[in-house]
Structure 1
Amino acid sequence: MSLRLRRIAVDGFRKFREPMVIEGLTDGLNIVIEPNETGKSTLLEALRAAFFVRHGTKNQLAQSFAPHGEAVGPEIQVAFEADGAPWTVTKRFLKGATIEVTGPQGKAQGEEAEARLHALLGSVRDTSQKGDAGSYGALGLLWVAQTEALAVSAPGQIVRDTVRSTLEAEVGSIMGGPAYTRVRTRIDEQFGRYWSPTGQRRGRQNEARERVEIAEVAAREAADRLAGLERTFSDLEAARARLKVVQREIADDTDVQTRKDLVASLEVARAAAQILATRRAEHEAVNAKVRGLEDLSERHRKATEDRDKANLALGQARAQRAELSHGLAAAKQRLADVRSALDSARASRQDARLALGAGQDRVRASRRRAAVAAAGNRHAELVELERLHGEAKTLAATLTPSKTMDLLEANERAVAEARALRSAGATSITLSGETAGISIDGEPASPCERTLTGITVVRLGDAELVITPPAGAASAEEALSSALKKQQSTLEELDVVDLAAARARNDAARDAASELRTIAARIEATTPADENVGLAAGADALKLFIFELVDEPGVEEADLPDIAALTNALEAADSALAKAEGAQESAVDALRRIEEDDAPLATVEAGAASDLANAKAQIDTIEGRSEFPTLVVDLTRAREQTAEAAVKLEEATRDATAHDPAAITRKIETVDARSRAAGVARTKLEMDIARLEGTVESEGGKGLANRAAGACEEAEAARAALQRITEEAETLKLLRETLDEARDETSAKFVGPVAKRAKRHIERLLPGCDLSFAEDLTLEAVIRGGISEGCGDLSRGTQEQLAVLTRIAFADMLLEQGRPVSLILDDPLVYSDDARLDLMVEILSETAERMQVILLTCRDRAFRHVAANRVSIAR
């Protein structure tokens, strides 16, 4: 049966803070086209809340129904038809939560009303915090919120069970019967003892493996301890045998005698070494004496040679310097003369510069006085211009704004119009001749013409004439009075007599504003900068200069010096100074060249004199020593003693080589080390034997052989149990997989009819395709040209279109079973191109012939041409 919504009323639900009603929903295709942020998605959420969310819940979803910042009770009322019968549901959340359902069975409230809705719609109670569309039944699949149709998803468990019950008769097989359930439950229970849900070993398998590991570890430990005891017996016998060998080695006295012989040889070697050291010291002493005498003789010879060379070099240097002395004296005298001339030129140049500076100062002072006088004239002109500028500025400030002038013009027109109206509606009287005894409104009358706007009493002696003008005259007079007051008020604010005066003043203000620019330009031209007095441009700079000006003494023009003559004199002094400096540089260069020639000679002379003095001092020192007179005889005798000492040293070296103390000492150390090692080995063997005897005594009585045999038997039993349990686990796994295969075969029988119905719609979108559904009735893939394409690999637009078409297929199957079905799509087909959009609209229009279809969209252009019932969200 088809579910048809007729009226939806929402109040205080999210963005619908004020009551909102949608009416006029028809059986076929209904389109709600509204702009973004209008509340289309909120409308679908309100429908879901009215049908599926328990009224008394205060979960997170229900809390979100209240408008932000308001503590109200959101309320929804929906009128609909199910199987042709009218129904109404009214539900309120949070504040004063209530529900009332009206149907063919009458009214129901509270939990009974919730139960009737679940029974009618095939839904179950939703216990989630944020809303579970799977518990909403068929409408949870077919009422598609925004973006829920962007991917192909599986229907909920309620829809799958309903579809299976629909297809049971068609496929001739019952899926999940009681027998299958009992067997599968038992197998799953047994399977869980051996395997995890992901197929990993656990439970009894792990326990058996742990038992095997523990038994094998115990067997290895028992075998290791038994083997260790046997090794201990063998080590004990070997240690006792080695101890006997070591004891025999220690009892042998061969090493003792050898050590005595080596000690005696060491004493002889040490004596020979002592003699060798004595002979070596004697040889070194004689050699040192010979070297000292030879060095003294060599130094005396070298000092004599140095003295002779220094005498020769000193004579040559002195002769060469004598030749240069006359030229050096002449160069020094010429340099003194040139320096005197240079000093005189510098003094003349200084006098010329001072004279030129003084002349320039007097000229600058003259120019400054002229500039100061000009500045005073410009200042007087500036004062006058500033006065004119102030007057013009004051006059320009009286310019009346254009809006005010427009107001005056409008007031003037209003006064004229009021006067015209008064003249048109008033009564005019003319009094002439003798007016004695006549009064008008109690006042004596005079000959004139009067305009009467109100009731006027004219007394003629004892008679009284009452004149009543037309009714509009009074209002015209009042209008004129009001216009005059308004105009007068505006004129008083502007401080003018009338409009003509205001216009004249405005014209004068405009002329003054124009004159301001002219005066400003004249002020700028009158206040230029003047470098002669350091005056900057501008009126402020000129006024400050005049204010700070100090009177300066005057100088007559006839007293001014000739700057050109003074400049020529300075140039002549500069030229003379340059010539004097050139002459000085030439004299300095000539003196430098002579000094450069004399400097090496002076250096050579000084060096030769120093070398001569050093050589003489060294000769005197050597010849003054006591051993110098007998130096030749002593040197000969010392050389003979050196030869004798060398012969004795050779003999002592041969004797020392025959007995080597180091080699003898090493042999003695070897004997001692062998003796110590034998002692240490005996001590270590005695300790090892004691330790091994203790181990044998402690381990020998524990029955290690029996323990090892028992541990081996336990390991064999544990391995056998593990093999048996593994076989049981594999058998259960095989049985479970066999049941799964059988279930898959049965499921395939249900998937076939679903694919057949869905293909009827999808083939129009993708011609020549085959469909592949999963066990949970999810469309997994589309097969085109023998190539399988997963739904997740398709474009977003194709996925969205397939999601809508599979929902239509499920809706048709549910409709066959008589379930309440309607299709609501929120903002559908957003990724579809124009051709596919037209095709999808055509399919939806055909679907609307079998059930109610409601489209919520903001795209007016995309659905403008569709023939459908258009509904607006009214507030």
Structure 2
Amino acid sequence: MSMQLERIVATNFRKFRDPMVVEGLGSGLNVVIEPNETGKSTLLEALRAGLFVRHGTKSQLAQSFMPFGENVAPEVEIEFQIDGERWHVAKKFLKSPVLEVRGPKGRTSGDAAEEQLQALLGFERSTSRDADLDSYGALGLLWVGQGDALSVRAPGEIVRNSIRSTLEAEVGSIMGGATHDAVRAAVDKQFADNWTPGGSIGGRQKSARDAAQTARDAADQAASDLAALERSFAELADKQARMKVLKRELADERDVQARADLVKSLETARAATLMLGQRKAERSAAQADADALGEFAERHKNALKVKTEATDALADANTKRAKVEAEVADAKEKEESARQALSSARDVRAVDKSALADARLLATAASRHLAIADAKRRHEKLVELETELAHARKIEASGIDPQTMKSLESLERNVATASAELSAGSTTIELVGEAPHITVDGNEFGDGPRTIVQETRIVLGGGAELVVKPPRGTASARASLDDLNARLESELSQLGAANVSEARARVDAARDAKASVAALDARIEAITPAAPTLDLGAGADALRKFVATIADSDTAASSTIPDIVELEKHLEDAEEGLATADGTHQAALEALRKAEEKHRPLATAETSARSTLASATQQIATIEADPRFANLEADLLDARKKAAGADVAWHKAQENAGSLDPDAIERQIEKIDKRAESARTQATELQLEIARLEATIETEGGKGLAEAAARAEEEAEAAQRSFDRLSEEAATVKLLRGALEDARLETSQTYVGPIARRAKRHIERLLPGCDLSFTEDLQLHSITRAGTEEGCSNLSRGTQEQLAVLTRLAFADMLLEKGRPVSLILDDPLVYSDDSRLDLMSDILTEAAERMQVILLTCRERAFRHLGGTHIAIG
């Protein structure tokens, strides 16, 4: 059923501080065309608030209804019809909130009125702090705010349920209906009892599995305890057998005798080793004495050699250094001379450079004086030209525009034409001879012909008069001529011209003056160029300002200017002289550096030779003062003989000690001791293990472990059978739930078919030959054109907006079939549509208005003013 809004009033609602009234809405197409910031979007928000937002809410959304900066109560009144029944809703927010609904059966207020609106319009109470369009039901989908239709979206759950119930008979299935929900709820409950939401084992099934696992663990533990007892019997027998073998090993006397023999051999080996150490020390001491005396003799020999070499090196260094010092002195003298020449060259260059700079300053000043004089001459010429230009512009301004001149010439032609017509219809009289007594209208007749255009009296004399009467049409021709002459004289008077010829002469003069103005402008531009040397810009204004600032000193004659070319030649010669002196000085510096480099190592060598000679002399004196130096040769020979004898004695002691190795004997004794200790330790450990095993067998043997293991195994098998049975039931429930889900998906596709057919009826006109694809939640997902699938999100913004409007129309048609209250409101629609699609969408909306109320809110007058229907203004 169609819903028809008739009247909306918003007071203290956002920008509407005073009551805003929209009334006269018709049942078909309604167009509201208002400029931006008029309140079209606010009108839609007020409509939604009046029907869907609870009157008692204090939410952020309700707070936003108040005008900015004010603390008042927003109010909305709405009048509408549903199936011919009239309804009136009055709602007040925030301050003393009130809701009153008047319908065919009387008035309702408060929460009862809220419930009545929900039942009437098919929406749900929203718990959101902001606007929840899905909770608004069908009208939340069909009342489209500004920008909400820029993308294709799925309808809310309320709309989907309404559409499913509409199509249930058509698709022939209970899926998605109440019966399916009841079956699915029972299956879901059993599924939740045995499975987790992700499909893993849970609930009763997990408990049964845990119980089976616990029973199995107990059975395994009982079997393990029984097996441990049986292992204890076997381990006790093994330990007792190993104990017998160890006792036999400990009773054997052969290791005792072998150890005693090894102890005796160790004492003999240690005595031989002690003698070897003594002989080794004696050998080392004799060899050290011989080495010390040999080193003392070698030091004396080396010192004598170093002294001789240092003496020779010192003499050679002195000879070479004397030669090089003469070269260094000569190089220093030449460098000093070159430095003085370089300084003189720099002074000459500085003098010449200063003279050239002064001459250039004088030349620049002279050039400026000349430029200033030229500027003054050009300024004088400029004054003359500007005087001529002013005169030419005055003549040009006195000209007559072509249209006025054309009018004058037209009047002149009309006067000539009227005069000719008058002459053609008038009487002409002419007096031949002299007759001074004949007068015409009191005046002498005069010579030549006279044209009579009105009744004229000619006095002949003697009391006689001749009355001449021209034809009757002559009077009108005369009046017309007089009128034209008056108009011509008026035009000429306004222009200040005596006649048309004078006016024409002024036109010609103005044309010539215009040409003169252009020529004078060009001449003025030519004589006012820029002068960079004076920082003078181009143009007459710049020249006048510059001349006004010229002082008398600027035009004074400059002093005599030296020959700059000659000065530049002198500076060039000075630069060359400086370069030559600089090169000579650099060469002298390089020669001095090389001489000093040759002298530096020689000085170093001399110093080093002196130091080495002094050190060698000091070392020789020290050695020869040592008491060992007096009999050095004899003492060295005796020490070497003693070292040879000690070496012989040491080798003999090595031979004696080599036959017995104390370390090897000690290792054999240690091995026998460890073997005996290990046997005693193992015997002790075995004795402890045997005692422990005997105690364990005595304790565990009386517990009946075999019977307990058999009983635990039976309980584990029973728990496993219970778990297997429950698992089978859970698997059946899971399979049934999957089958229901598959059936639901299949049925969803069955629902999608009728929806696609209805939507295609509209979209086919926009996109001929396309196929539509909807998702499970009834959202248009993609279109297929020429075999190519295109997702809606990949389409242009304009196409998305058009598809969003058309799918809403399809849903609106299905809701109409269900008998739901439906109307379509579009705020600022089709903003991205081209002209052809805008025309097509306008036709589709016009046709839809035949089935339901359609309200368009727009600021684009050119796009929608041609539409029919009711045009509404916001007031």
Q: TM-score, normalised by structure 2?
A: 0.61
Q: CA, structure 1 residues 652+519, in 2 after alignment: closer, same or farther (shift >3 Å)?
A: same
What amino acid is aligned across from residue 204 of structure 2 in structure 1? R
In 2, distance between residues paired with 1:70 and 1:753? 51
For 1:870, the aligned partner's letter is H
For 2:16, the equivalent position in structure 1 comes to 16
Post-superposition CA distance 1:308-330 (Å, at most 9, x none): x799989x979x99xx99x9xxx
Q: CA deviation at 1:764?
A: 0.9
Counterparts in 2 of 1:672 and 1:52: CA distance versus 1, 3 Å? same
1:143-195 deviation line (CA, Å, top 9, x unaligned): 12233333333434444444445445555666667665554443333233223
1:274 Cα offset (Å) = 2.7
Instruction: Indicate the SS of the match to 2:54.
Output: coil
Partner of 1:660: 661
Please name the residue that 1:462 is paired with. Answer: none
Given residue 731 of structure 1, which amino acid in structure 2 is its aligned partner? T
1:721 partner amino acid:
S
- Which residue of the partner structure matches residue 725 of structure 1? 726
**Residue of structure 1 equivalent to 2:32:** 32
1:752 is matched with 753
Match in the other structure for 1:390 = none
Cα displacement (A) at 1:853: 0.7
**What is the Cα deviation at residue 724 of structure 1?**
1.7
* Residue in 1 that maps onto 2:873: 872
Task: Name 1:555's counterpart in structure 2.
Answer: none
- Paired residue secondary structure (2:682): helix
1:255 is matched with: 255
Q: 2:62 aligns to what?
A: 62
Please say if residues 138 and 159 of structure 1, whose CA atoms lie closer than 8 Å, have aligned partners that are also in contact: yes
**Is 215-224 or 110-119 further displaced after alignment?**
110-119
Partner Cα distance (1:35, 1:16) in 2: 16
Letter of the 1:662 partner, please give it: D
- Once residues 600 and 205 of structure 2 are traced to their aligned partners in structure 1, the CA distance between those partners, rounded to angstroms, is 116
Tell me, in whole angstroms, the C-alpha distance in 1 between the residues paired with 2:610 and 2:53. Answer: 127
Give the whole-Å Cα distance in 1 for the aligned partners of 2:98 and 2:67: 18
- Residue 276 (structure 2) pairs with residue 276 (structure 1): yes
How is 1:586-625 mapped onto 2 (pairs within 5 angstroms)? Answer: 625=630
Could you tell me which amino acid in structure 2 is paired with residue 212 of structure 1?
A
Q: Which moved more, 1:137-146 or 1:736-745?
A: 736-745
Question: Could you tell me how far apart the structure 2 residues matched to 1:522 and 1:643 are?
Answer: 122
Deviates more, 1:38-47 or 1:123-132: 123-132
Q: 8 Å contact 2:310–2:610 — kept in the other structure?
A: no
Q: Is it true that 1:266 corresponds to 2:279 in the alignment?
A: no
Does residue 220 in structure 1 map to residue 220 in structure 2? yes
Deviation at 1:82, TM superposition (A): 2.8
Aligned to 2:144: 144
Deviations 1:275-304 (A, max 9, x none): 333333444455556556767777888899
Q: Report deviation, 1:12.
A: 0.8
Identify which range, 748-757 or 653-662, moves more after superposition: 748-757
The alpha-carbon deviation at position 210 of structure 1 amounts to 1.8
CA–CA distance in structure 2, aligned partners of residues 226 and 595 of structure 1 = 104
Query: Structure 1: how far apart are the matches of 2:696 and 2:788?
Result: 78
Residue 810 of structure 2: aligned partner = 809
How much is the aligned-residue C-alpha RMSD, in angstroms?
4.8
Partner of 1:678: 679
Q: Report the 3-state secondary structure (helix = DSSP H, G, I; strand = E; otherwise coil) of the residue aligned with 1:259.
A: helix
Look up the equivalent residue of 1:716 and give its one-letter code. E
Write the distance in 1 (CA, Å) between the matches of 2:115 and 2:235: 90
* Partner amino acid, structure 2, of 1:247: K
> Aligned residue for 2:713?
712
Tell me, yes or no, if the aligned pair for 2:822 and 2:852 is still in contact at 8 Å: yes
Superposition TM-score, scaled by structure 1 size: 0.61
Q: Would the aligned equivalents of 2:311 and 2:609 in 1 still touch at CA under 8 Å?
A: no
Deviation at residue 230 of structure 1 after TM alignment:
3.1
CA pair 300-114 structure 1, distance change in 2 beyond 3 A = closer
Alignment of 1:386-401 (within 5 A): none
Give the % identical residues: 54
> Residue type of the partner of 1:753?
P
Aligned to 2:835: 834
Seen in structure 2, the aligned counterparts of structure 1 residues 816 and 603 have a Cα distance that, compared at 3 Å, is closer
What's the offset of the Cα at 1:761? 0.8
**Does the Cα contact within 8 Å between 1:317 and 1:605 map onto a contact in 2?**
no
CA distance in 2, matches of 1:65, 1:595: 101
**Residue 688 of structure 1: SS of its match in structure 2?**
helix
Contact 1:62 1:94 in 2 (8 A): yes
CA distance in 1, matches of 2:303, 2:165: 138
What's the secondary structure of 2:836's corresponding residue? helix
Corresponding position of 2:82: 82
**Deviation readout 1:416-457 (Å, 9 max, x if unpaired):** xxxxxxxxxxxxxxxxxxxxxxxxxxxxxxxxxxxxxxxxxx
2:306/2:612 contact within 8 Å kept: no
CA drift at 1:844: 0.5
1:495-506 to 2 correspondences below 5 Å: none
Once the two structures are TM-superposed, the CA of residue 670 in structure 1 deviates from its matched residue by 1.9
Deviation at 1:694, TM superposition (A): 3.9
Q: Which moved more, 1:771-780 or 1:285-294?
A: 285-294
- The residue type paired with residue 657 of structure 2 is A
Show the 5 A alignment for 1:289-688: 625=630, 632=634, 644-688=645-689
Partner of 1:93: 93
User: Partner letter of residue 75 of structure 2?
Assistant: E
* Cα distance, 1:223 vs structure 2: 3.3
Cα distance, 1:758 vs structure 2: 1.9
Q: Which residue of 2 aligns with 1:735?
A: 736
Contact 1:40 1:856 in 2 (8 A): yes
SS at match of 1:768: coil
Does the C-alpha gap of structure 1 residues 99 and 272 become closer, same or farther in structure 2, counting only changes over 3 Å? Answer: closer
Unaligned 5+ residue runs, structure 2? 337-545, 555-593
Shift of 1:265: 1.1
Q: 1:350-390 CA distances to partner (integer Å, 9 max, x unpaired)?
A: xxxxxxxxxxxxxxxxxxxxxxxxxxxxxxxxxxxxxxxxx
Q: Distance in 1 between matches of 2:727 and 2:614?
A: 119
Shift in Å at residue 49 of structure 1?
2.0
Q: How far, CA to CA, are the matches of 1:110 and 1:765 in structure 2?
A: 46
Partner of 2:188: 188
Q: Which amino acid aligns with 1:33?
A: I
Residue 38 and residue 249 in structure 1: after superposition, are their counterparts in 2 closer, same or farther (change >3 A)? farther
Alignment of 1:787-802 (within 5 A): 787-802=788-803
Deviations 1:667-687 (A, max 9, x none): 222222222222332333333
Tell me the CA shift for residue 807 of structure 1.
1.7
Q: Partner of 1:466 in structure 2?
A: none
Take 1:205 and 1:148, find their aligned partners in 2: how far apart are those partners? 49
Deviations for 1:593-613, whole angstroms, at most 9, x for unmatched residues? 999999999998998799679
Q: CA deviation at 1:11?
A: 0.2
Counterparts of 1:605 and 1:733, CA distance in 2: 110
SS in structure 2 at match of 1:724 = helix
> Does the 8 A contact of 2:101 with 2:113 survive in 1?
yes
User: Match of 2:852, SS?
Assistant: coil
Rate the CA distance shift 1:14–1:662 in 2: closer, same or farther, 3 A.
same
Instruction: Give the stretch that moved more between structures: 157-166 or 232-241.
Output: 157-166
Q: One-letter code of the match for 1:252?
A: D
The letter for the 2-side match of 1:95 is K
Q: Quote the residue 2:461 is aligned against.
A: none
Aligned counterpart, 2:543: none
**1:619: how far off?**
5.3
Aligned to 1:442: none
Tell me which amino acid in the other structure corresponds to 1:675: A
- The 3 A distance-change label for structure 1 pair 656 and 848 is same
8 Å contact kept, 1:32–1:857:
yes
1:811 partner amino acid: A
Q: Distance in 1 between matches of 2:4 and 2:243?
A: 111
Q: Distance in 2 between matches of 1:168 and 1:311?
A: 126
For residues 175 and 606 of structure 1, the distance between their equivalents in structure 2, rounded to whole angstroms, comes to 117
Distance in 2, Cα, partners of 1:742 & 1:604: 114
Secondary structure of the structure 1 residue equivalent to 2:842:
helix
Question: Taking structure 1 as reference, are residues 303 and 8 closer, same or farther at Cα in structure 2, changes over 3 Å only?
Answer: closer
Assess if the C-alpha contact under 8 Å between 2:174 and 2:180 holds in 1.
Answer: no
Amino acid at match of 2:146: Q
Equivalent position of 1:703 in the other structure: 704
Q: Which amino acid in the other structure matches residue 52 of structure 1?
A: F
Deviation at 1:849, TM superposition (A): 2.0
